[in-house]
Amino acid sequence: MIEAIFMWLGRTSVGTALQQSTAGFAATEALHILALSVVGGSILVANLTVLGRVLKTTAPETVFRQLQPFYRGALVLVAISGMMLVAAGPYKYYTNPLFPLKLGLLVVAVTLHAILSRRLNTQSVARRLAIASLVVWTSVVITGRWLGLI
Amino acid sequence: MTLVQQLYDSPLATAIRESDNLFPILQTFHILGTIGLAGTIAVVDLRLLNVAFRREAPAAVAESLLPVTWVGFAIMAISGGLLFAAQSAKIYGNVFLRAKLLLLALAIANVVLFHSTTYRNIRAWGGEVSPATAARVFALLSLLLWSAVIVTGRFIAYF
């Protein structure tokens, strides 16, 4: 079933186009990195605010609310460009043991951020969640870089 | 022997090139540094463009995030310098590397120019203020230039 989804992605018009175009593939990767910079930047600023390191005069609730549209929009772009990269080399990702690990870590990271945004009023809990969130998001980036190598 | 060839042949550059893991480790730091640098710059630019943190004083947002931007910049500069050293003789003629370095110079010039002109007045702006047109132009240029640096940087590996 999962294999069928990967192979279908590879047969889509976007998939076949990217398989034949180095510039198209590089542009998709560039979009992926631009979008992840916005996601990562939002997460970094949001978590550092909870930890009392930046934007000390602004309530964490305000920081989360202000960053939310950019975080969400960029996360959608990360997902779309990520699926396009998979479509460009479906078998490579289907057989890669780091791919499910990265996706799993991403789910944990997104979940931690969602929980944290609802627990901002309990400072001790919020601080622990912020540290955990920073660690998991960093591990998403690390596994993402290693994905392309094995 | 040219300077680039000397850099390429240096023990450090050779060690990075010959190691299995050092290159991707440096690349990972380079991406994390990008997030710290570009992510915080984007937040400040969005404030200056009046699309986020409208109730916060622009100076408060900018000054609070600046240390994080500097840490990101240091990580990028060190990891980027080492990545370049390891490949220097092979890629110094790469058109995207040259474009990236030019765009990086423009992006830094934009920061310096902003801080020596419009930013001097920024402290006078309180919260809930809509920044001057000049500040918005600097912010828009900043977003475009740093995005272009990231895009051209990714293209270096393919051409």
Please report which confidence band the pLDDT of residue B124 belongs to, taking 50, 70 and 90 as the band edges: confident
Query: Looking up tokens 């990008």, which residue turns up?
Result: B34
Question: For residue B40, which residues of chain A lie inside 8 Å, CB to CB?
Answer: 41, 44-45
∠ CA B135-B154-A7, nearest 5°, is 125
Taking CA atoms, what residue in A is nearest to B147? A34
Whole-structure pTM over 0.90, yes or no? yes
Contact A37 B38 (CB under 8 A): yes
Instruction: Tell me the residue length of chain B.
Output: 159
pLDDT (tens digit per residue) in A57-90: 999 999 999 999 999 999 999 999 999 999 999 9
Is residue A143 predicted with pLDDT exceeding 80?
yes
Torsions phi, psi of B148, nearest 5? -65, -35
Q: Could you give the dihedral angle defined by the CA atoms of residues A66, A67, A71 and A74, in that order, rounded to the nearest 10 degrees?
A: 80
Q: Is the pLDDT of residue A125 over 90?
A: yes
Q: A33, B34: Cβ pair inside 8 Å?
A: yes
Q: What is the mean pLDDT of chain B?
A: 94
Contact between chains at A44 and B68 (C-beta distance less than 8 A): yes
Burial class of residue A45 in the structure, from the number of CB atoms within 10 Å of its CB (0-12 exposed, 13-18 middle, 19+ buried): buried
State the average pLDDT over residues B81-103. 96
Type and span of the H or E element at B57: none
Mutate to test the interface with B, among A43, A58, A146 (most CBs of B within 10 A): A58
* A85 φψ region: left (φ > 0), alpha (ψ -120 to 50), beta (else): alpha
Kindly determine whether residue A33 and residue B150, on different chains, have CB atoms separated by under 8 Å. yes
pLDDT higher than 90, residue B130 = no
Chain B CA closest to residue A71: B39
Residue with the two structure tokens 């003629």: B93
Q: How far away is chain A from the Cα of B147, in angstroms, using its nearest Cα?
A: 7
pLDDT at position B1, please? 66
Length of chain A: 150
Whether the Cβ atoms of residue B110 and residue B145 lie closer than 8 Å to each other: yes
Q: Which residues of A touch B151 (CB under 8 A)?
A: 27, 30, 34
A41 to B43: CB separation less than 8 angstroms, yes or no: yes
ipTM of the predicted structure?
0.94
Q: Which amino acid is at B71?
A: V
The answer for residues whose C-beta is within 8 angstroms of residue A89's C-beta and 6 or more apart is A10, A19
Q: Does B78 touch chain A (CB under 8 A)?
A: no
CA distance B95 to B83: 17
Helix, strand, coil percentages for chain A (3-state, nearest 5): 85, 0, 15
Q: Are B54 and A59 in contact (CB under 8 A)?
A: no
Task: Tell which residue, A145, A71, A80, has the closest CA to residue A110.
Answer: A71
Q: How far apart are CA B43 and CA B52, in angstroms?
A: 8
Asked if the Cβ–Cβ distance from B64 to A55 is below 8 Å, we say yes
CA B2 to centroid of chain Cα atoms? 28
- Checking if the pLDDT of B48 tops 90, the result is yes
Cα four-point dihedral sign B112, B113, B115, B116? positive
C-alpha span between B11 and A24 (Å, rounded): 36
pLDDT digits (tens, 9 = 90+) for B139-152: 999 999 999 999 99
